Amino acid sequence: MSASDLTIEVPSGFLFSAIAAGIKPSGRPDLACVRIPGGASAAAVFTTNRVVAAPLEVDREHLKRSRGRVSFLIVNAGNANCATGAAGRRDCERVCREAARLLKAGAERVFPSSTGVIGVPLPAEKIVRALPELIAAQAASEQAAEGFARAIMTTDTRPKIVSRRVRAGSGSFALLGIAKGAGMIHPNLATMLVYLFTDVEANSRELQPLLHAACDDSFNCISVDGDTSTNDTVLLLASSGSGVSLRAPGVRAKFTQALNEVCKELALQIISDGEGVKHVIRLRIEQARDRKEAMQIARTIAHSPLVKTAWAGADPNWGRILAAAGRSGVPLDPGRINIFFGDLQVCREGVAAEFDEREAHAYLTQPQYEVRVQLGRGRTSLDFLTCDLTTDYVHINADYTT
């Protein structure tokens, strides 16, 4: 799928642009920005990693000082500005200050993001020099939005764009999501960045819980290292350009649904574009006591090299899944566990079910399929997206690149 085939719904109030500033060795576009002339209300979710890149520290401070208002988003790819110490922080602040000066706005209204190599100084000079051209190129077009999506890519093989237009009363609002994936988890480039733009009218306090909930069911349910890299950021910006208020009757429910859908679709695009990925697996944990234990089991299964390599070979080896669940730390009764590949039951109450291995193997050769694990402990279900672990993945990541 080429992003060019898509109709991109661009919410009003946002201007996009991207250029090549010489940060990526490839010479491709690597500096992108979004300007919101009227300002936007912001909600954000950041990585939980203790090692945090400089821009995330700056973002947190700026959002606090601006009370959740953003006028300018600037993203560079090719350098994560992480593990760069006090100099990294100063470099990031310098870029923000320069952008603010050009835009005649407060620096606290600038939201910086970086993705790329860790431990290498940010080429702040290159970025600062490129800012006037970058800002001059801004447009509200679909092409400009796609250009933004392409410029923030690192190991992604395709841009990740999902958009919706939602009717509400006599008007409508748009929601546009743009993401860069974590490859599978790439050498120095493990970051997941997600930007969600809407022209609904809402304040920062109203948006934050909606964004948290949407992330929980999407980006927190995929097994890239995404949720734990040093730069991960999900940012939601609302420009109010549509004139449709979140507080108007029925709008909150519609917006919440659109936000959840867009986040889930972006999450699926991120997993599908993982490095070396041949199979995308929807891992469904059923009959858990609560969401916490379902998540614990899903993650243990999804992170098991044993399970992931079996999936790479379309091997219907349910024993590995059972053993991974067994070591998850949840006090399971193995005698109550059922495992299904699609509709085909392969494990019944902890022991082998009678099944046709060739049928199971054929099912697992599909590019996308479902694995269900029933725990017999409760009523909670969880969907978790994951992928296989292939020799391509090792090749990509084992190459001596530094």
d(CA 324, CA 315): 16
> Contact between 136 and a copy of itself (CB under 8 A)?
no
Q: Which two tokens stand for residue 343?
A: 């509709």
3-class DSSP assignment, residue 347: strand
Nearer Cβ to a copy of itself (72/393): 393
Nearest to 29 by CA among 38, 39, 37, 18: 18
Nearer Cβ to a copy of itself (128/323): 323
Is residue 191 part of the annotated active site? The answer reads: yes
Q: How many residues bind a copy of itself (CB under 8 A)?
A: 66
> Contact between 345 and a copy of itself (CB under 8 A)?
no
x/- letters, 227..246, toward a copy of itself (CB under 8 A): -xxx----------------
Residue 313 burial (C-beta neighbours within 10 Å; 0-12, 13-18, 19+): middle
> Contact between 335 and a copy of itself (CB under 8 A)?
yes
> Contact between 400 and a copy of itself (CB under 8 A)?
yes
> Contact between 376 and a copy of itself (CB under 8 A)?
no
d(CA 323, CA 298): 13
Under DSSP, the state recorded for 367 is S
Helices vs. strands in the chain: H and E counts, helices first: 11, 14
Nearest to 195 by CA among 306, 115, 275: 115
Site for a copy of itself in 106-135 (CB under 8 A): 117-120
How does 270-299 read in b/e, with b if 16+ C-beta sit within 10 Å? bbbbbbbbbbbbbbbbbbbeeeebbbbbbb
Nearer Cβ to a copy of itself (144/339): 339
* Stretch touching a copy of itself by CB under 8 A, among 22-30, 195-203, 238-246, 329-337: 329-337
Q: Please, are residues 307 and 321 in contact by the beta-carbon 8 Å criterion?
A: yes
CB of 93 to a copy of itself, least distance (A): 17
d(CA 216, CA 275): 23
> Contact between 366 and a copy of itself (CB under 8 A)?
no
Nearer Cβ to a copy of itself (49/208): 49
* Stretch touching a copy of itself by CB under 8 A, among 11-19, 242-250, 317-325, 379-387: 317-325
Exactly one of 191, 198, 300, 390 is catalytic; name it: 191
* Stretch touching a copy of itself by CB under 8 A, among 63-71, 142-150, 167-175, 393-401: 393-401
Site for a copy of itself in 191-230 (CB under 8 A): 225, 228-230
> Contact between 387 and a copy of itself (CB under 8 A)?
no
Q: Tell me how far CA of residue 335 lies from CA of 267, 288, 320, 347, in angstroms.
A: 34, 15, 16, 10
Q: Please, are residues 388 and 281 in contact by the beta-carbon 8 Å criterion?
A: yes
Binder to a copy of itself among 27, 250, 305, 367 (CB under 8 A)?
305
Biggest CA pair distance of the chain: 70
Nearer Cβ to a copy of itself (243/326): 326
Positions that interact with a copy of itself (CB under 8 A): 48-52, 82-85, 88, 117-120, 185, 187-188, 190, 225, 228-230, 303, 305-306, 309-310, 312-320, 322-323, 325-327, 330-335, 347, 349-352, 357, 361, 389-391, 393-395, 397-402
Residues assigned a catalytic role: 191
